[in-house]
Amino acid sequence: MIKIVGIPALVGTYDNYIWVLFDEHTAKAWVVDPGESQQVIDFLQQHNLDLAAILVTHRHFDHIDGIAALKQNFANCTVYGPELTPFNLIDKRLREGDQVTLSGDLSFQVLETPGHTEDHISYYNDHLLFCADTLFTGGCGRILGGTAEQFADSIIKLRNLSDDLLFYCAHEYTADNLAFAAYVDPGNPVLQQRLKETVINYPALHDGKVGTLGLEKQINPFMRFDMEPLKSQLLAKGSAETPAQLFATLRTWKDHVDQGVENIN
């Protein structure tokens, strides 16, 4: 049986999670987006795990800076990543539709999800989705290399995946994201319930219990940018009625709140 934990990284600055999947029976582990290495090495050694592979979603340093040290410590590890990435420590480059088989009972499909960056990919199977900085709990990544048009397309791709998928993102920005979500979508009862139930233990080791993609579809404004009640608000802010423009207007709105241009408290 595969277990999953989230190891905090870049705590206090970027608040990343490095997701570690492991099988105690075979003593194999797989790591997603190691932006740092020492805490991953410590965890693997403490649990007598060998690192079999690293999955990379995109080129940002907070997702890749631990890879060189991990490769030095675990000689057998294969690094998977986007075909389109400029990052050069990738052993196997992936495009949309490719399948990554990590073990007899662990494999992923690749989805190209550009927008946050131009090279971003996500990994999913029948149960799990690792979408890094494309979609966060209650929010999404900023546009740092891709375009709003790509981002809107990528979100719609994720929206078409199964509601049952357990959803693993790369940053602990939940409190901030849900505050913005409640500001722009105050009448959403599922969101209000989610706010009440949310407990954040960061930077403790994340035990891997996460929400579903179906829940995100109900509460995350960036999954709902082209639906009411968000759409009317975005049109009132001057957005054209295209997915790219609606998404861009919502993203800019959140950026203004993050920058203190607009105060939501």
The binding site for Zn(2+) consists of 58, 60, 62-63, 116, 133, 171
Write the CB contacts of 170 (distance below 8 Å, at least 6 apart in sequence): 16, 17, 19, 32, 33, 57, 62, 63, 132, 133, 136
Q: Which of 23, 33, 119, 133 binds Zn ion (CB under 5 A)?
A: 133
Residue among 51 and 131 whose Cβ is closer to Zn ion: 131
Is 15 an interacting residue with respect to Zn ion (CB under 5 A)?
Answer: no
Whichever of 60 and 254 has its CB closer to Zn ion, that residue is: 60
171 binds Zn ion (CB under 5 A): no
Query: Which residues are registered as beta bridge partners of 4?
Result: 21
Query: What single letter denotes the amino acid at residue 240?
Result: A
Determine the size of the site formed for Zn ion (CB under 5 A).
2
SS3 169: strand
Residue 120 lies near Zn ion (rule: CB under 5 A): no
Residue 127 CB neighbours (<10 A): 10
Give me the residue whose beta carbon is nearest to Zn ion: 60
Which is nearer to Zn ion, 146 or 221 (by Cβ)?
A: 146
Give CA separation, 105 vs 23, 52, 75, 108, 187, in Å: 10, 14, 23, 10, 42
Write out the binding residues for Zn ion, residues 56-115 only, by CB under 5 A.
60
Residue among 112 and 133 whose Cβ is closer to Zn ion: 133
Taking the least distance from each CB to Zn ion, the nearer of 28 and 60 is 60
Distances, alpha carbon 106 to alpha carbons 1, 91, 126, 214, in Å? 10, 19, 10, 22
Stretch that binds Zn ion, among 74-82, 129-137, 241-249, 252-260 (CB under 5 A): 129-137
| Residues tagged in the binding site annotation | 58, 60, 62-63, 116, 133, 171
How many angstroms separate the CA atoms of 183 and 213, rounded? Answer: 21
Contacts to Zn ion by CB under 5 A: 60, 133
